[in-house]
A and B are shown apart, each in its own frame.
Chain A
C-alpha cells in the first residue's frame, strides 16, 4: 500500500480503540494475544517477524504505540500461536475484558493503536557478490523471518522497483567509487569482483562508467520514493545516495572510477534540490580517504577528523498526532549506544528544512536517525553499519543476532519494515 493510499483511507486508528464493540467486531470474536515489547519480551526482534507473518497470512494485527514498549496485538489463532512458540516470542492470550482495559489506558495516554493490515513487499538492494562486511538489515530480516527479495543495478534499471513497497539500502556507494576502498584495498579479490560486476552492469545498460550507472540507479530510487515507496537506508547508502542525486551533471568521482578527476569546483555545482535529505555539504576531495563529505559527523576514516562514539537518544513524538514518527522510534530503550559506519551520523547543519530528526546525540552537532517525505513516499536514514558491532571492520564475521535478541539498535530497523504495513489515520498536522 502506498503512503498516499493509507493517508487517504482515513480509517481512524482511534476508532479501532474506542471502547465500543463495533470496530472491535471487525476483527471477529477471535481471541487475541498481546506481544509485549518491553523487558518482558523474550525476543524483541523475532516479535516483528511474528506480526509480519500474521499480516502476510491476511490477518489483522495492531501496533500499540508507546504501550509496553510498542506492543503488538496479534490474532490468537492456532497458526500464530504455533509461530510464537517456534520463534520463542513471548505472547500472552488476552481476553476481551483485559483488552478493553488496555484500550482505555491507550486512550488516556500518549499512546495509540495502529492497525497493521497489509505486509509490504520488501526489496533489499544488494550486489550479487559477497562483500566482506555484514548487512544489518539483511541479517535482521533473516533473523526475524521476514521474507524479502534482493535487487541490484540490473533490476533497478529495468524498473524492477515498481513491484515493491519497501526498499532497503545499506553499505552501497552510489557515487560509484567502490566505497573509496579502490586504492586502499587494491588487489583484494572481493574488491576486484565488485569492480568487475559493477563495470559489467554499467556496460550492460550502456553507461560510460560505474559512477554514471550508479547515478541512474539513485534516480530510479528517488523516483520509487516519489511514486509512494518507502525507502530505508543505512550507513553510507544514505550519504552517497544524496550526493549522487545532487551531482547531476557534475563529476564528483575520482579518476580511478570514471577516468577523469573530480571537478575541482564540484561542491559549488551540486544541486541539492534533487537530493532527499541533505544540503550544503562539502565534498571530500582525496581519492584515498574513504570519506565522501562532511555530511557524516563522525568521519571514522579520517585520522584528523574522527569523532568518538557516544550514545544517541530517541525523540518522543505524539502517538495520536504523529504516528509515523512514533512508529519509527518504538523501542524499549530510549538511549542507545552509537556504532560506527562509513557514514555514522548526519551533521545537523547539512539537513534540509523539514527533515524530521528521530534520534540525536545531545550536545553534539550530529544526529543519528532522520525521516522525511518526498513526493508520495517517505525515506528514513539511519547512520552506522551494525548496531551490535560498533567498530565493524572489513572481514569481520557477521553478527550472530541470536546473541542480541533484544537489540534496541536493530529494533529501529524493524520498525521501518513494519511501518509500511500500518493503516494510518489522517495526520492532524
Chain B
C-alpha cells in the first residue's frame, strides 16, 4: 500500500470512532460549551454559556462557579449579582449557593447584602463558623480589617466558643500592631491545632521592639511549656539567641525524642544567621542534642558543638568537647580524627604548639589524612614561629615542598626580617596557596614588601610578628619607627599605611588619621590612593564628613586612573547623601 493510501485508510478507520464520541458531547448543552470556551480562554463567550445554563437551572452550582471564574478573569466580578436572586429562589437553603451569593454581593460593593447571606447560611448550620470565616476572608481580601474582625467575632458570639477563628484574629491583630492580642489569639489557636506553630512564630516574630515585652509577658502568663518555648524562639529571633535558648531549654519535654525534635527545630531557626552569639547558641543546642543521643550521632553532635564553640570564641568549651571526643574509643574513627584536627588547630591558636605537636604525634599514621596531617604540621610550625621558636618551625617544614609549605616558610622568614627570602618564597608559592583569606593576606603583604630595597629588615619582621601575635601596640610602635627610617617610595609610605590600618582597626582614629595623612602626603602612586581612601573613611568615623568629601575628591582628581576611583566615587556619594548608606 502506498503512503497516501495508508493515510486514507487511517482516516476512514477513524471515521466511525469519531462519530460516537461527538455524539457523547451533547451539542445543545450550554454547560459543556461554556467549559470548553473557558478552557480555551474565551471568557466573554464562556460567561454567556454559563448564563445560558443558569437560565435553564438557576441554582446549578457548576454554572454559578464557572460564571464567577470567568467574570473575575474579565474584571467584571460585580456582574455576578445579576444571577444571584434567581439562584436563591431556586435553592434557598443550599449552602454553596449562599456562599457564592455572599461573595457576589461583597464584590458588588454591597457588604450589607453579603452579611445577610452569612446570616441565612448561619441559620442553616448554626454550629458552623464557615459563613463568618468566609465573610471575614472576603473583607480581608478587600483589606477591610474592621469588617473582617467583626465577622470573626460574630462567629464566636453566636457559637459561644471563645477560641473560634483564633488564627484569623491573631493575624488581624498582628496587622493592627496589637501584638499582645495577637499573642493571646495565637495561643488559643495553638491549643486547638499545634500545626499553627510556624505561622504563630512568623506572625509574632515581626513585632517591633516596643511590642516585644508585651508578647513575652503574654507568653509568660500562659504558663505552659509550649508558650515558654515560643518565648525562647522569639527571643532568639529578636537577637538574643543564648537567652532564648536558655528559656527554651528550661521548658523542654521530658521525653528525649520529643526534646530532640524541639531542639532540632530551634537549631533550624538559627541556621543561616551569623555572629558569635548565634554560634554559641548553636553550640549549646548541639551539646544538648549530644547529651540526648547515642553512638555516632552523639559524636557528630559533639564535634559540631565543639566547632561552634570555637567559632563563638569559647575555646575552653571547644577543647573540653574535642578532648572528650578524641578520647572516645566508641566514636567512629572519622569523627575522632576530625576532632583531633580541630583540637590541634585550637591548641595552636591558644599558643600551645608543643601540646599540638604532641597530640599530632599521638595520632596513628593512618588516623588522619596525609594532606590534613601536613596542613596541621604547617599550622604548628607557624605556631612555633609566632612563639619565636624559629629553629623548631623550620625543622617542621623541612620536608614540606608544597606551595602551602613555601608560603608558610616565607612568612617565617619574614618574621625574622629576611625580606629577600620571604619575597622569593612568596613568589614561588604563587597567588593561590592556602585558603582564600591567607592568599589575600599574602598578596597585601607582598605589596608591602615589593618597594623595599633592603634584603633584611628585622624591625619589619618584629612588627609583623607582633601583629600576628595580636600585640597591636607593639606592632604600631615598630612600624612607626621603621617608617621613619625608610624613604616613602622605598616602603616608608606602605609601612605607614599598614600602621594606619592597624590603628584604625583598634579604634584609635586620631592616630590612624596621622598615619594615613603621612602616607598620603608622600604621594607614592601605588600607596597614596589607598592612604587617601582610608583617611576619608577614618574622617567619616571621626564625624568629619566634609573633610572626608574633600579627601575623596582629591583622590579622584589626583589619581583618576587608580582602580580605587569607583570605590571613592561611591563613598563620596554616600557622604553626600546621593545614595543610601550601605
Contacts and interface: CB of A to CB of B under 8 A. Distances in A.
A401 B560 contact: no
B578 A143 contact: yes
A104 to B, nearest CB: 33
Contacts of B176: 186-187
Contact of A183 (B107, B145, B580): B145
A88 B566 contact: yes
B579 A401 contact: yes
B196 to A, nearest CB: 23
Nearest to A290: B143
Contact of B177 (A187, A286, A303): A187
Given A289-B142, A401-B579, A86 B573 contact: no
B580 A398 contact: yes
A160 interface: no
Interface string A278-296: 0000000110111000000
A402 B557 contact: no
Nearest to A299: B75
Interface in A161-183: 183
A187 B142 contact: no
B75 A288 contact: no
Contacts of A142: 576-579
A11 interface: no
B569 A187 contact: no
Contact of A86 (B72, B556, B579, B582): B556
Nearest to A286: B109
Nearest to A141: B578
A288 B175 CA distance: 15
A289 B107 CA distance: 12
A304 B579 contact: no
Q: Point out which of A88, A145, A183 has the most chain B C-beta atoms below 10 A from its C-beta.
A: A88
A364 interface: no
B146 interface: yes
Interface string B131-156: 00000000001111110000000000
Nearest to B173: A187
Contacts of A305: 75
A82 B557 contact: yes
A201 B109 CA distance: 33
Given A88-B569, A304-B77, A402-B570, A397 B580 contact: yes
B578 to A, nearest CB: 5
Given A186-B176, A285-B109, A288-B144, A86 B77 contact: no
Nearest to B574: A402
Contacts of A82: 557
A289 B576 CA distance: 39
A402 to B, nearest CB: 5
Q: Point out which of B570, B578, B580 has the most chain A C-beta atoms below 10 A from its C-beta.
A: B578
A20 interface: no
A345 B579 CA distance: 27
Interface string A187-206: 11000000000000000000
B573 A402 contact: yes
Interface of A, secondary structure class, is loop
A135 to B, nearest CB: 13
Contacts of A87: 569
B384 to A, nearest CB: 48
B548 interface: no
B522 interface: no
A85 interface: yes
B579 A143 contact: yes
Contact of A402 (B178, B577, B579): B579
A270 B190 CA distance: 52
A307 to B, nearest CB: 9
Interface residues of A, number: 26
A143 B557 contact: no
Contacts of A77: none
Interface string B355-372: 000000000000000000
A188 B177 CA distance: 7
A184 B557 contact: no
Contacts of A88: 565-566, 569
Given A285-B109, A398-B580, A183 B144 contact: yes
Contacts of B142: 286, 288-289
Contacts of B177: 187-188
A400 interface: yes
B72 A304 contact: yes
A184 B580 contact: no
A388 to B, nearest CB: 12
Contacts of B579: 142-143, 400-402
Q: Point out which of B75, B141, B572, B580 has the most chain A C-beta atoms below 10 A from its C-beta.
A: B580
Contacts of B582: 400
A186 B149 CA distance: 13
B392 interface: no
A85 B560 contact: yes
Interface string A301-326: 00111000000000000000000000
Contact of B143 (A187, A289, A400): A289
Interface string A17-44: 0000000000000000000000000000
Q: Point out which of A186, A397, A400 has the most chain B C-beta atoms below 10 A from its C-beta.
A: A400
A85 B144 contact: no
A398 B582 CA distance: 11
Q: Point out which of A85, A186, A402 has the most chain B C-beta atoms below 10 A from its C-beta.
A: A402
Interface in A319-360: none
Nearest to B581: A400
Interface in B71-119: 72, 75, 77, 107, 109
Contacts of A397: 580
B553 interface: yes
Interface in A108-127: none
Nearest to B566: A88
Contacts of A303: 141
Contacts of B560: 85
A180 to B, nearest CB: 9
Nearest to B572: A86
Contact of A85 (B75, B109, B556, B580): B556
Contacts of B557: 82, 85-86
Contacts of B577: 142
A304 B75 contact: yes
B207 to A, nearest CB: 12
Contacts of A184: 143, 145
Interface string A79-111: 000100111100000000000000000000000
Interface string A376-412: 0000000000000000000001101110000000000
Interface of B: 72, 75, 77, 107, 109, 141-146, 176-178, 553, 556-557, 560, 565-566, 569-570, 572-573, 576-580, 582
17 contacts: A82-B557, A85-B556, A86-B572, A87-B569, A88-B565, A88-B566, A142-B576, A183-B144, A183-B145, A183-B146, A184-B143, A285-B109, A288-B142, A289-B143, A304-B107, A400-B582, A402-B578
Interface of A: 82, 85-88, 142-143, 145, 183-184, 186-188, 285-286, 288-290, 303-305, 397-398, 400-402
Given A184-B145, A305-B75, A402-B578, 13 more contacts: A85-B556, A85-B557, A143-B579, A145-B578, A183-B146, A286-B109, A288-B142, A288-B143, A304-B75, A398-B580, A400-B579, A400-B580, A402-B579
When A and B form their complex, which 5 residue pairs have the shortest distance between CB atoms, in order from nearest?
A187-B177, A184-B143, A288-B144, A142-B578, A187-B176
